[in-house]
Structures are given as C-alpha cells and as structure tokens.
Structure 1
Amino acid sequence: MRAIWKGAVAFGLVNVPVKLYAATGEHEVPLHQVHKKDGGRIRYRKVCSIEDEPVEYSEIAKGYETDDGQLVVLTDEDLDQLPLATEREIEVIEFVPADQVDPILLAKTYYLEPDRTAAKPYALLREALTSTDRMAVVKVALRQRESMAVLRVRDDVICLQTLLWPDEVREADFPILDQDVTVRPQELAMASSLVESLASDFDPSGFEDRYRAALEQVIEAKVSSGRTQAVPQKEEVGEGGQAAGEVVDLLAALQRSVEKARGGGGAQADEAPAAEEKPEKKAPARRSRSKAGDDDGEADEKPARRSTSTRSRAKKADDEKPADDKAADEKPARTRRKRAS
C-alpha cells in the first residue's frame, strides 16, 4: 500500500508520528464508455457554458452561487488563506465510550502505521483504547478539508475513521411512524422465533458480489468465443481537449500549403492556359491560322501576369477577333457563288 498522508497523533504530551493508508477499496469491473461503431473512447471536455470553448485547467476556479443569483468566485489564493490548524496533526479532543458513536456518522476508514521510532507510544495508545473500550475523537485535515474522526482499534492496528458532521445527517421525518400500532404478543413471539432461526455470527467472507461475478462471466464468455476487437489507437489529448493527432494533421496541412504557395506558383500558371484554350475548340474554321492561334495562346498567358489595364486591353482585342473571323469565313462563300455562275 502507498501512504496518502503523513503526520502525528497528539494526545496530551505524547506525540506519535504515523502514516495514513486507505483501509478500503471498492472492487468494480472497469467499464468505459466507447463508441459502438468503432470502439473509440468517449472523452469529456471542460467547456465554458458562455463561450462554448474548452477551458484550460489553469483557468478554472471554484464558484458559489448565492440565493439571490449572485456568483462568488473563489481562487486558489482564497482557499490557501483558510485556516487549517490540524493540517499535519491528528489532534485528540476527548475519549468517549465506543457505543456512543452512532454508526450513521462513520464514513471512510484509514489505517495508521507508526514510524519505527514510535512503536512504543503507538502500542501504548492502542492498549489504552482497548482496555477502556473507548474511541478517541480527533480532528484532522485531509485533502484541504478539516474532518471530525475517531480512533478505534481493529485487531492490532489503530484505525482512523472519518465522521460526518452532525448537520450532514438528515432527519428521518416520516409521519406514518407517529401512528399507534398494536403488536400482539403472538406476532412478536413468531417474529422472535424467526430471528432465532436465522441467528448466526457475522462472517462477511461468506458473502459475494454476485453482480460483479456475473458480469465477469459475460466478459470471459465473449473473450473465449473471440467476440473481441482491437483497441483503437489512443490519442493524447492536449490543452483545450484537442487530440494531439489533430494538431499534427493541422501542422502538416499548413506546411503543405506554405510549400505550395512558395514553389507551386509556376504550376498554377501552367494550368491557366489549359482553361483558356477551351474557347478555341469552338472555332474549327481557323485552319490556316494554327500558328497564329499558338501565338494567341502564348499571348493569353501574359495578361495573367499584367496589370488590370493591360488585361482589359487584351480582352478588348479578343472581342474584336470574331468580326475578322466572320469576314474570313464569308470570303470563301462569295468565291464559290462566282464559280457556280
């Protein structure tokens, strides 16, 4: 086990350096939310409800909303100024009879391990609690929160068990319990007989989590029958919840765009004449002007690099060409009519 806290138990003039270990741990089958289609893990991002943008951890603070709708923002600096007198000390306040501690107050349990130099005072406190059948009520600060707790003995180990504050226990307010109910002696005798028939010494090892066992059987059946799939490649999520792979793809796309803008300008210019040569296919009558057409194609490339005024003059010259072509097409027609006569 790994110690989660280091400090000392202080009662009277005795100081016992100890380490704190979590005494319990829930056993659950680890299930993740995945996409049914491809098995990808479902990720959660911290998004601002106003800007609808991911928020970095360094920009997150705690907030308290008042009854009249006002918001109080608490920063880490505000929380660091709060007094925690028992930050590294388990302060014993009093020793109380064990049966006076209501089990509903009991919360999480921790083991206390003494330092090598504190074995004797640790054993002294343990034996004192056992012989007097009492618990030590203490105050301790865990995870930046002060808690009330008790020290009790389990086997040879002193346990620290945190308690709920009194105002954290809800009152049981059920009006039906105030009604007068008459229990007949025969009914009480039968109930007592049933209790005696099921009486036993408590042994928690005789119980098991049947749901977890059944779930593990379902998983094992799928594995043994081959109904599995490869785990999708994990993506490292960076700041703002954006996957690292997306950033790399974006940088690669930008790099290609820069290279295309720097060295691909000539290629774009070469593609331009191909688009401008399409109108020439509509004028098959220009048999004897193929050379001139080639010259025109070269001339069409140049205006793409000239100024706006130069392009407008070139366009005007192109507009005048159809009239000349029309005259050239009409001339062979007049010659044919003259020969026919």
Structure 2
Amino acid sequence: MHTLWKGAISFGLVNVPVKMFAATEDKDISMRYIHKECATPLSYVRKCKSCDREVEWEEITKGYEYEPGHFVLFEKEELDKLSSEVNKEIKILDFVNLEDIDPIYFQKTYYLSPGDTGTNAYNLLLESIKQTGKIGIATVSIRSKSSLAAIRIVDNCIAMETIFYPDEIRSVAQVPNLPENANINDKELGMAKMLIEQLSGPFEPDKYTDNYRSALLEAIQQKIAGKEVKAAPEQPKTNVIDLMAALQASLEAVKPKAEGQPKAAKGRGKKSKETVS
C-alpha cells in the first residue's frame, strides 16, 4: 500500500512514530465525458474570464470570497503556517468508549503502521487500547484539513477514523416534516418488531455486494464484445397498499429463510466487531 502520511501519535509524553495508509478504496467505475459526434474525450481548461485565456498552475493561488466579488488571497506558505500538518502529529486528547460516538461523526478510516523507529511504543499503545477497551480521541491535520479522529484497533492494527467536528453536523431540526407526536397502532408495531426480529442476525459484510457496479461491468464487457446490452429482469412489484397487509406479506416472505436457518444466539452480532476487546 502507498504511504499517505508519516508522523507520530502522541498521548501524554509518549510519542509513537507511525505511517498512514488508506484502509478503504473507491470501487466506483470511472466514466469520461465524450463528444458524441467524434467519440473524442472532452478536456477541461482553467480559464480566466477577465483575461480571456487559459491559466497555468503556477499562476494560481487560493482565495476566500468574503463579499460577492471580493476575495482575500493566500499563498501556500501562509496556509502551511496555519496548518498543524507541519507538526505531523496525531495528538490524543481523551479516551472514551466507542459506543459514546454516534456513527454520524465518522468519515474515513486509515491504518497506522509502526514508523521506522518506535515499534515498542506502537505495541505498547496497541496493547493498552486493547486491554482498557477505550477509543482515543485525537486531533490531526491531513492535506491542510484539520479534523478530529478516533484511534482504535482493527485486527491487531492501530486504525484512525477521521470524524466531523460537532459544528459540521447539521441539526435534525433542519429536516422538514418530522413527526412530533407519533400515533402508532399497537398491532402494526408488534408485527413490525416481529419482522425486524426475523431479519436480525450478525453483521456479515461479505454477503453485501454492489449490484449496480456488477451490472455496469457486465454491460461494459458486452459493449466491448459488440453485443447488445441486456437489462436485468424487473423485480415483480406488489400492489399492497394497506400497511397491515404489507407487514403480513413481508413476514410471509422471510419465513422460509428464517425457518431454514438456526436462530441467531443472543449477543452473537457482537463477536464480529472490529473494535477493541
């Protein structure tokens, strides 16, 4: 894997040199814009409207629009001085329980390996987090973007998850038409809970696939081979409108699957967590 960042984790006066690697990868299929008439890929230019010409990268700087049409400009060196990235430090401020962090805060996961020195310090931090069952909350700056981060263990590796600052999370009060006083039919609620129970089990990520990506890859291969692209057959649609009837039909649909499998033991879903133990 390609090293994205080199620095150190600090907690108290302990310094742990680390290298950072992306833990995830984007599997989206990249498409380019093509001119239909001649099948030529389109290119994009950086053009200045005032000078009416293309602008080279060395002529470009960054600016903030504080009023319409008015900007304050910053050179790269000025922004670097403001960024904590120059410290190359993941500074742990607190240790908390993972369940205290709402999933809405999580952004992207990175793996951290020991640096060229400090393997003992890395192992010490890893084992300490494991045995205490805590998650470190740290500050970090990557590519001039400052964020909070959660330091945890994934399969015997220290991992860092960047997380949003509280003021970056929008309030649910901005969401329109949320019910204030829900009036739920007890029988419908019971059936809905029964349906949830029938569909419940341990989290098994390998059973989930990106159906759209698979279909698109197949369509690409068909086009390369000069074949007609075949659309997937449409799923049968139900005309169930009544909520109670929909719940009943849903329960009937999952019954064969549920009856053919042993009931998941209580707490079984916890064993596959990639969190600290």
**TM value normalised by structure 1:** 0.62
Q: Which residue of 2 aligns with 1:275?
A: none
Q: Which has the larger radius of gyration?
A: 1
1:246-325 equivalences under 5 Å are none
Amino acid aligned to 2:8: A
1:271-302 deviation line (CA, Å, top 9, x unaligned): xxxxxxxxxxxxxxxxxxxxxxxxxxxxxxxx
Higher RCO (Cα < 8 Å, 6 or more apart): 2
CA-CA distance at 1:7 after TM superposition: 0.8
The worse-fitting range, judged by mean Cα deviation, of 145-154 and 105-114 is: 145-154
Aligned length: 227
- 8 Å contact kept, 2:83–2:144: no
Q: Which residue of 1 aligns with 2:248?
A: none
SS in 2 for 1:177: coil
CA-CA distance at 1:70 after TM superposition: 2.5
Q: Which residue of 1 aligns with 2:71?
A: 71
CA-CA distance at 1:41 after TM superposition: 1.6
CA-CA distance at 1:120 after TM superposition: 2.7
Structure that is richer in strand per residue: 2
1:106-148 deviation line (CA, Å, top 9, x unaligned): 1111000013543332222122222222110111121123221
Q: Which residue of 2 aligns with 1:215?
A: 216
1:168-247 equivalences under 5 Å are 168-173=168-173, 174=175, 176-177=177-178, 179-225=180-226
Q: Percent same amino acid at aligned positions?
A: 37
CA-CA distance at 1:38 after TM superposition: 2.5
Matches of 2:19 and 2:3 in 1, distance apart? 6
Q: Which residue of 1 aligns with 2:56?
A: 56
Q: Does 1:113 align with 2:133?
A: no
Matches of 2:32 and 2:154 in 1, distance apart? 36
The worse-fitting range, judged by mean Cα deviation, of 136-145 and 177-186 is: 177-186
Structure that is richer in helix per residue: 1
Q: Which residue of 2 aligns with 1:304?
A: none
SS in 1 for 2:187: helix
Q: CA RMSD in A?
A: 2.0
Q: Which residue of 1 aligns with 2:32?
A: 32
CA-CA distance at 1:160 after TM superposition: 0.6
CA-CA distance at 1:2 after TM superposition: 0.9
